[in-house]
Amino acid sequence: MIIRDNSSITVYSGKETLRIEAWGNGIRVRAVPMGDIPETERGLLSSDNNNEVVVCEDHIENAGLRCEISNGHLCFVRVSDGKVLLEESTYPWALHRTAREYKTISGTNNFETHIYFKAQDEILHGMGQYRDALYDLKGCKVELAPRNSQISVPFLLSSAGYGFLWNDPAVGYASFANNETEWYAASTRCVDYWVTTGDTPAAVIGNYADVTGHASPLPESLYGLWQCKLRYRTQDELLEAAREYKKRGITPDVMVIDFFHWIYQGDWDFDPEYWYDPKAMVDELHSMGIRVMVSVWPTVDPRSRNYKELNDNGFLIRTERGLNAEMEFYGKMCFIDSTNPAARKFVYGLLKKNYGRYGIDMFWLDEAEPEYSVYDHDHYRQYIGSVLETANMYPRCHAQMLYDGQKEDNIPDILNLIRCAWVGSQQYGVLVWSGDIESTFREMKVQLRNGLNMGIAGIPWWISDTGGFYNGDINDPEFRELLVRWFQWAVYMPILRMHGDRMPNLGSLVTDTDHGGGFCPTGSPNELWSFGEDVYEILLKYLRVRENMKQYIKETSEETVRTGLPMMRAMFIEFPDENECYSLDDQYMFGSRYLVAPVTEYRASERRVYLPGGKWKDISTGETIVSDGKYITVSAPLDKIPVFERE
């Protein structure tokens, strides 16, 4: 049986129910092995559009894209030139295979699914952040699951001219092999994906933003330096750093209080022994023009004063069997269930009560994947279903917890730091950072690729820990050089933030307890002056560069909110007609004007840069170069990052 209306085709057969429908500037496909298509909360927003949709006997057209249907087989064609953009796989009858495969999970309404598409000659970008994947994802296999420093945002942008969203939060994988593309969900209620096309990569990214949400604004008051380290152990340590900044004529926009400023995880409050007067501390920082951010984890210790109420109300993620513990870190912890709207409201109320009374401005949502000590996804259950089915939704719901509460309280300039994201997270006032990463030049290269792919995947406010997070010795000349190179790069990120667990470790204040603000250790200093006078002078120089760019950052961030284009733009977004730009993974455009080429090699004094066609001004020398699309080698001493202004 086939049912058609003015925007969709639904095909009922003995083996599945298949629906193809116009959705925004694209086409959405949903399928189940039997029964009706369920309505589930996922990444796509309303299907509203003003397009003229064509529904015919064997195809549907919307926004320049046609989906052709032949015996259940789907083929996506660009209307303007008839080019096949994406096509489901076909197989010889003897193989007994189909492009959409289902395996029902016994005793449930869920099923495993594999969806297969024909491979083609294309370059693939997006999908979020993967530390072991290449910039061009063709040939890569990536896990669809959140982890510390891994962020799954399954939107794919192809050089063939289409965008593809895997609209499913289930744990799974995507494989972009040379013989076939495969999408796999380990437990789902509905196959669900969306395809779009456009004249340029920018148009495709814009279509994607329209159906998943545009980013919330990047507050103008936060464009300067954010000072952070692992960790200020006491109120006095934090104020000492802030006062020293002020003495040096520097005003950070934000000072950050990291984890274990509490007694027990899940208290979400200051340990009064080490943070003896938070109100006075915050008032002094505010008087300096500095905002205050605190780290709040979703972990709850059974000894916490909030554990019983959270547990009694069903506000914690649960295990399917055995003890209810999901993470071991200075104790066995549970996670709050941020997929539960009532839990979100309850926990936000605690944060408002325990931190809002002191005037705390912003929050840092660490551990937002959440970080299970053992990733047995089928062993955990949250409000919206088994974690195997819904894992990727958690970080977005966790961000929504703060954003909804802050909006209701009319808090201006909402921006909270978070360690993970999924489709649509950009709507909820988040600055995503890339997690706990190594302090190495190799990792810096990986992070540059990650930042570009995150922007393509729809998460424009993205940063990494400047200098990396761990194993960075402040007395090591190589690390000092790495920090300079990373800081120069961070000046051309959406937000400039210092953070890291620096060596040598300074230890804890007390050793005879396993809880409270004094037992957790800290690393060495991480302020701008902590790495020697020569390094300080370079960092100070680039801090001034950042300050002088604030008007440009404002204009570019507003463009990002309006269009969906990231601030850190892959070269091909601005130069789609230059083939070389699709593979460039070590330089990018900061907005439309500045070409940024970070130095990612130790002891490098020059680097190779590709200049697309046009006129480019080297901002350090003032020299103008006319290019028809060529590589040049530029000088890059330690106090210079190659940056070219597009004329």
What residues are paired with 78 via a beta bridge?
Answer: 65
My answer on whether 106 and 51 are in the same domain is yes
First to last CA, the chain: 59
Residue 512 has what pLDDT? 87
Q: Does residue 480 fall inside a structural domain? A: yes
Overall residue count recorded for the chain in this entry: 647
Last residue of a domain, one of 561, 593, 623: 561
- Say yes or no to pLDDT of 81 above 80: yes
Q: How many angstroms separate the CA atoms of 313 and 308, rounded?
A: 8
Cβ atoms < 10 Å from Cβ of 450: 25
Q: Do residues 453 and 584 make contact, with C-beta atoms less than 8 angstroms apart?
A: no
My answer on whether 76 and 153 are in the same domain is yes
Q: Which of 549 and 41 is assigned the larger pLDDT?
A: 549
Cβ atoms < 10 Å from Cβ of 568: 25
Single-letter residue type at 526: N
Q: Does residue 339 fall inside a structural domain? A: no
Q: How many angstroms separate the CA atoms of 427 and 404, rounded?
A: 11
Q: Does residue 395 fall inside a structural domain? A: yes
Contacts of 454 (CB under 8 A, 6+ apart): 128, 129, 151, 153, 421, 432, 462, 566
Q: Do residues 394 and 382 make contact, with C-beta atoms less than 8 angstroms apart?
A: yes
Q: What percent of the chain has pLDDT over 90?
A: 97
My answer on whether 497 and 371 are in the same domain is yes
**Banded model confidence at residue 46, pLDDT cuts 50, 70, 90:** confident
**Collapsed DSSP state (helix, strand, coil) of residue 237:** helix
Q: Name the E strands within 528-581.
A: 568-569
Residue 133 has what pLDDT? 96
Last residue of a domain, one of 511, 535, 561: 561
Phi, psi torsion values for 443, nearest 5 degrees: -65, -35
My answer on whether 139 and 94 are in the same domain is yes
What residues are labeled active site? Answer: 366, 369, 436
My answer on whether 630 and 482 are in the same domain is no
Q: How many angstroms separate the CA atoms of 231 and 241, rounded?
A: 12
Residue 50 has what pLDDT? 82
User: What does each C-alpha distance from 490 to 130, 178, 328, 447, 451 come to in angstroms?
Assistant: 20, 35, 33, 11, 11
Q: Does residue 463 fall inside a structural domain? A: yes
Domain of 224: which CATH number? Answer: 3.20.20.80
Taking the alpha carbons of 422, 10, 114, 26 in that order, is the dihedral positive or negative? Answer: negative
Domain of 635: which CATH number? Answer: 2.60.40.1180
Q: How many angstroms separate the CA atoms of 633 and 387, rounded?
A: 50
Rounded average pLDDT over 163-190: 98
The predicted-structure confidence for 394-449, as pLDDT tens digits, reads as follows: 999 999 999 999 999 999 999 999 999 999 999 999 999 999 999 999 999 999 99
Q: How many angstroms separate the CA atoms of 280 and 358, rounded?
A: 8
Q: What's the number of domains the chain is made of?
A: 3
Q: How many angstroms separate the CA atoms of 617 and 624, rounded?
A: 4
- Say yes or no to pLDDT of 14 above 80: yes
Q: How many angstroms separate the CA atoms of 572 and 9, rounded?
A: 35
**Banded model confidence at residue 484, pLDDT cuts 50, 70, 90:** very high
Q: How many angstroms separate the CA atoms of 59 and 57, rounded?
A: 6
My answer on whether 641 and 533 are in the same domain is no
User: What does each C-alpha distance from 188 to 18, 104, 142, 394, 505 come to in angstroms?
Assistant: 15, 10, 18, 16, 45
- Say yes or no to pLDDT of 49 above 80: no
Last residue of a domain, one of 537, 561, 585: 561
My answer on whether 554 and 580 are in the same domain is no
- Look over the chain and give the mean of its residue pLDDT values, rounded to a whole number: 97
My answer on whether 570 and 640 are in the same domain is yes
Residue 514 has what pLDDT? 87
Q: Does residue 315 fall inside a structural domain? A: no
Rounded average pLDDT over 49-75: 95
My answer on whether 439 and 424 are in the same domain is yes
What residues are paired with 155 via a beta bridge?
Answer: 165
- Say yes or no to pLDDT of 48 above 90: no
The candidate with the shortest Cα–Cα distance to 519, out of 304, 233, 258, is 233
The predicted-structure confidence for 267-288, as pLDDT tens digits, reads as follows: 999 999 999 999 999 999 999 9
Q: Does residue 316 fall inside a structural domain? A: no
Q: How many angstroms separate the CA atoms of 443 and 150, rounded?
A: 13
Contacts of 607 (CB under 8 A, 6+ apart): 597, 599, 601, 633, 634, 636, 642
**Collapsed DSSP state (helix, strand, coil) of residue 333:** strand
My answer on whether 459 and 497 are in the same domain is yes
My answer on whether 134 and 67 are in the same domain is yes
My answer on whether 487 and 608 are in the same domain is no
User: What does each C-alpha distance from 323 to 50, 317, 320, 343, 381 come to in angstroms?
Assistant: 53, 12, 9, 21, 13
Q: Does residue 314 fall inside a structural domain? A: no
Q: How many angstroms separate the CA atoms of 267 and 255, rounded?
A: 21
Domain with 493 in it: 220-260+285-299+362-561
Q: Does residue 459 fall inside a structural domain? A: yes
Structure tokens at 497: 């933030």
